[in-house]
Amino acid sequence: MPTMADVARSAGVSVATVSHVLNGTRPVLAHTRQAVLDAIDELGYTPNTLARSLVTSRTRSIGLAVSAISNPYFTEILQGVEAGALEHGYSLLIADPHDDPEHERKVVQLLHERRVDGLIVAPSADPRELLAYLGRHNVPTVFLDRIVGTPAAGAPLFDQVCADSAEPMARVVTHLAGLGHRRIALVAGLPGLSTTSERISGYRQGLVAAGLPYDERLVVHGDSEAAGAERATAALLSLDAQPTALVTANNAMTIGALRALRDHCLSVPGGMALCCFDDFAWADLFSPRLTAIAQPSKEIGAQAVRVLLDRLAAPDRPARTVRLPCTFVHRTSCGCAERPGPPELSERAMKPAGPESGVQDPAGRDPGRVRPSAQPLKSAKGTVS
């Protein structure tokens, strides 16, 4: 197996120069760098990453701890993290904390003990042990999708990357209200998660904007998984005054809600209008096609890598929170008519529709015949706070 010394002799440079080219530890003239790379290619040299990590104190690896990797949303986030890591020459070690606080701390410790350069973590609903471990060992970390509380001063403790949750949820509620719905229910996620609390907050903001009262009986928790959402939806359908529209707060819960509606012989949108948070690959294969809020999942993953690398380059920089915009994907499960034209025309950024739209109550009119106004989607950049 060729060695670094062999590469140096072939390129006509010192071993130190080869090391600088491989590790990026010092600028090297372009023609010298190219001579080294040509020698590496000709000899088939493979760097010894273990030896390099002893010299640089870096393993060029990132630890990723996310739950429910089988969930399409987190699968796409994983794809974004992997692409971002590979782009910058980093490998990825993955663990599933199972949304269990104790297991979460254990898998993060195991990743840390593997000497990863930094961590990307989707924290559980109770991350106290996790925060204590990360703070005690000063581990460079970016929180993903779910954010953690901030101290009294208001500055975040760790870097964080997530999507907007409240405003898109409010947009969905006002859209349904604009179709005439007055009893709009929410199947919320696992209590304690920031995404759950933010989407409940957005739901309430949407009710206020639409001039609708808040009824706590219409907010149930599906615990962010299909079985829980199926039970929660069944509970909603047992109310004396059932909702006429339903919003699910993630894609797994959408599946559970659809099962419950099927078991109660309720069609969508005729028996129940439905909108969901999270778009997924087969959402437009359902009949009707699912109206959804699409999160930029791959970009969330890629952005988390960029933020982590910024942290590694400048350990003392202030922590920041990056929020990325979502997209309203307007289909037909909300009760709107099918839009003519190619599928890409169905994606729109919707203006919140308030009660002033003058649409009749669903009891007196089929909301499937109503088509709210829409505006072409405009590009938007993530905000940093």
pLDDT at 19: 83
Amino acid type, 370? V
Residues in CB range of 129: below 8 A, 6 or more apart: 101, 102, 104, 105
pLDDT at 46: 78
CA–centroid distance for 355 within its chain: 31
34-48, pLDDT tens digit by residue?
A: 999 999 899 888 776
SS3 246: strand
C-alpha separations of 140 from 14, 115, 131, 216 in Å:
34, 12, 12, 40
pLDDT at 374: 33
254-263, pLDDT tens digit by residue?
A: 999 999 999 9
Q: What are the structural domains, with CATH classification, of the chain?
A: 4-56 (1.10.260.40), 61-151+298-314 (3.40.50.2300), 166-297+326-384 (3.40.50.2300)
Q: For the chain, list residues with pLDDT below 50.
A: 151-153, 342-385
Q: How many other C-beta atoms are found inside a 10 Å radius of the C-beta of residue 62?
A: 28
What interhelical angle do 251-263 and 226-237 show, nearest 10?
A: 40
